[in-house]
A = this chain, B = another copy of it.
Amino acid sequence: MEEKETFNHLPHKTIARLSQYRRALLLCLSRGKSHIFSHEIATIQHITPVQVRRDLMLIGYSGTLRKGYNIKELINLIANIIDSEEGIKVAIVGMGNLGRALINYFSGKRHKLSIVAGFDTNPDKIGNTMNGVPCYSASMMKDIIQQEGIQIGIITVPAENASQTANELVAAGIKGLLNYTPKPIDVPEYVYLEEYDMITTLEKVAFYVKMRSLEEE
């Protein structure tokens, strides 16, 4: 019996790396490269070639011995694993500095992921569009999310409004949340949540910089 491949058990870290590989591969492709070796991918990503080969093994992709991996094929396979066929729609709540930076960053990128709506409470922002993304009143959140079938929400409101916004998004039926405010939020277990705070990353860099200078002494 033919077993349907689900890629269900890929390690979390592998998923993240596949996304990065794809980005690097697309760049290589645009430069006219057709094949690539594991050690080339590894160098770009600052990891080891073994890691790359192991990840590709896990997704069942084989290269050729002297040419390496076919870039187009590999991109397609990664797309197959990561992307949803129908595409996934994303909404961003809080069209401030960060919200705008993200929309700006995303627009023009192909991908099966697209930011299709922004929400804000500031009347000056409602009704505008930013890089093709319309800004709606936050009171319309539920309606528009359901109507458009938006599945993922990005939270970039001021920290004090984060949890309320999260609740509204959950109530609207969102399936995944990306919280960029420094305030950790709570969601039901059926909603996939990622939180990211820059300060943590920066403090980590600072810690290792400090450590290294202490070691030198």
Q: Residues on A close to B: CB < 8 A?
A: 6-8, 12, 15-16, 19-20, 23-24, 27, 44-46, 81-84, 88, 90, 96-98, 100-102, 104-106, 109, 111-113, 151-152, 154, 175-178, 182-184, 186, 190, 192-215
In contact, A206 and B101 (Cβ under 8 angstroms): no
In contact, B208 and A176 (Cβ under 8 angstroms): yes
In contact, A16 and B178 (Cβ under 8 angstroms): no
In contact, A210 and B101 (Cβ under 8 angstroms): no
**Measured between C-beta atoms, what is the minimum distance from A7 to chain B in Å?**
8
Q: A97-B97, A152-B205 are known; give 4 further A-B pairs, CB within 8 A.
A: A6-B211, A23-B200, A113-B206, A175-B212
In contact, B209 and A88 (Cβ under 8 angstroms): yes
* A183: nearest chain-B partner, CB-CB: B27
In contact, B178 and A202 (Cβ under 8 angstroms): yes
Copies of this polypeptide in the complex: 2
Contacts of A195 in B (CB 8 A): 46
Contacts of A196 in B (CB 8 A): 196, 198, 201
* A99: nearest chain-B partner, CB-CB: B101
A214→B4 CA distance, assembly (Å): 12
18 A–B pairs (Cβ distance < 8 Å), ordered by A = A6-B214, A7-B211, A12-B204, A15-B207, A19-B204, A24-B184, A27-B183, A44-B184, A82-B206, A82-B207, A84-B206, A88-B209, A88-B210, A97-B100, A102-B198, A109-B199, A176-B206, A176-B209
Contacts of A152 in B (CB 8 A): 202, 205-206, 209
